[in-house]
Homo-oligomer: A and B are copies of this chain.
Amino acid sequence: MGHVDGETAVAALGSGRWRAYVSPSWSISGTPNGGYSALPLLRAMGELAGQPDPVSATIHYLRPALGDAAAELTASAVRRGRRTVVVRGELAQDGEARLVATAVFADLATPAGEGPELTLPAPSIPGPDACTPRAELVQGVELALLDRVDVRVYLDATSGRAVVDGWVRFVDDTPPDPLTLVLLTDVFPPSAIAVVGPTGWVPTIELTVHVRRRPAPGWIQARFETDDLHDGRMVESGCLWDETGALVARSRQLGLLRR
């Protein structure tokens, strides 16, 4: 079992309760990464749903999660349809709710309809080996999670836009799956750095990820853009593509840029 699966495993306690251990190995400046801390919760919610793929997952970050600490998870289904199941869940540590999530689980192998298709092609960027390892960017944070994810960043200084492109894969070569794509939407530096410079820690208020296809093994290509920053509140949107160029996930988050 790879690191990401082992370090987001959950143990069912029955009656919609699970127990997990939040590892310190996915932290940014001592706080577990938000994409990472959402994974045990979504994993428990998916077990309850009995459908494999989080086609929509919204996570609200209430308080920082605690690394190297146990977590209590609770989840309940609010709607069991034939093809989709909607589940709400909560991750608590030390008796306090840290994250709440609502997610829609379905089977991406079962089409919901037929007809025309529209997609966003992956932008043309240099390959992973020609991009900058995230560790070499100055962002004002300490990045333990780079022992778990290999993040390569491409910044086009001529664009004038707050865009970060790049590539990501798990360091131990665990292939991405629909659940771990949620994590991979949250491991790049904030795209605001492309226009405002080092940002420090950018707390996420709410993150919504739409998983669109099951990813092929290999690198995930990513693009994130902050096109809307006002009074310290920013909307960042992202796209992930797999190595075949298929659009596999979309993300949008509301975050705080405190400076």
Residue positions of A touching B, CB distance < 8 A: 55-56, 58, 60, 62-63, 78-79, 84, 86, 88, 90, 97, 100, 102, 104, 108, 111-120, 162, 192, 195-196, 205-206, 208, 210, 212-213, 226-235, 237, 247, 250, 252, 254, 256-259
Contacts and interface: CB of A to CB of B under 8 A. Distances in A.
Contacts of A115: 196, 232, 257, 259
Given A112-B233, A119-B230, A232-B114, A56 B104 contact: no
B55 A233 contact: yes
Please give the count of copies of this chain that the complex contains.
2
Contacts of A235: 210, 212, 250
Given A60-B102, A62-B86, A118-B192, 18 more contacts: A55-B205, A56-B254, A60-B86, A63-B79, A78-B90, A78-B100, A86-B100, A104-B206, A113-B231, A116-B192, A118-B162, A118-B195, A118-B234, A119-B229, A119-B230, A210-B254, A213-B230, A252-B252
